[in-house]
Amino acid sequence: NTKAIYVESIGNPKYNVASIPELAKVAHDNGIPLIVDNTFGMGGYLIRPIELGADIIGKFNWARSGKFPSFTSPSEGYHGMIFSDRFGALAFAVKLRVELLRDIGPALNPFAAFLLIQGLETLSLRAQRHSDNALALAQWLSKHEKVAWVSYLGLENHEYHQRAKQYLRPNAFGGVLSLGVKGDASIASTLVDNLKLASQLANVGDAKTLVIHPATTTHQQLTDDEQLSSGVTHDLIRVSVGIEHINDIIADFEQALRVVP
């Protein structure tokens, strides 16, 4: 009954890198699409799942598996047209546009469209700055006496470092890292509370450096076992590294670490 395989290109919060070509083969051998959440892929700058075998944008043969009758049956709203016959691999994108977006609205407002286009012009510059800053911060944190561990794909000791080198853009490992400070959850919260440049927010990819202590914020409703099963430990602090000058970012963490016991 499986209709699709759904993965993240880079998992959160462990930063496990999906082997997209292998998953694509498994999916295609069983006549189902591979759908990839590329949130941590930096708008395609870091990794492009479609080029590695993912399907949902427009490569999957929707008619082959027989598991998607809405694509292979006549559409009453379009004079009996069969989307998979008429549009082939683009059936999903077309159906999304002419049915779902027709009903809920397909267009950005003009100002949002302007901002999107403007942002795309400098995406590569900002994405590389995020990655460079994250690597520098991870390396600095790894050497600090009050830091128990650092998890970042750019560090050679990361479990998925080699796979990241295989699938990600050369010399870019993303802008998000995690660290644990020595002590209990209250120590981690103290560090976060004492950062001055970084903002306490749950999103990632902002131009500003963002930090969060998931155990007491985004995951606080879960039991200890549920948190651990999702990769959230009590000491984990997630950092979305911004594009500020790296010296300023490091200085902020340095002064905050001086406060914790």
- Mean pLDDT score of the chain: 92
pLDDT at 166: 97
Q: How far is CA 188 from CA 166, 191, 196, 213, in A?
A: 33, 5, 15, 7
- Residue 260 CA to residue 46 CA, distance in Å, equals 34
Residues of the chain with pLDDT under 50: none
By three-state DSSP, how is residue 225 classified?
helix
* 31 token code pair: 């006549």
pLDDT at 99: 87
- Residue 254 CA to residue 156 CA, distance in Å, equals 23
Interhelix angle 185-194/246-259, nearest 10 degrees: 130
pLDDT at 93: 83
Return the domain boundaries, the chain: 5-104, 123-259
Domain 123-259: CATH superfamily is: Aspartate Aminotransferase, domain 1 (3.90.1150.10)
Q: What is the pTM of this model?
A: 0.84
- Residue 145 CA to residue 158 CA, distance in Å, equals 19
Q: DSSP letters along 14-72, please?
A: T-PBP-HHHHHHHHHHTT--EEEE-GGGGGGTS--HHHHT--TTTT--HHHHS--HHHH
- The β-bridge partners of 237 are 179
pLDDT at 163: 98
Q: Which fold has domain 5-104?
A: Aspartate Aminotransferase; domain 2 (3.40.640)
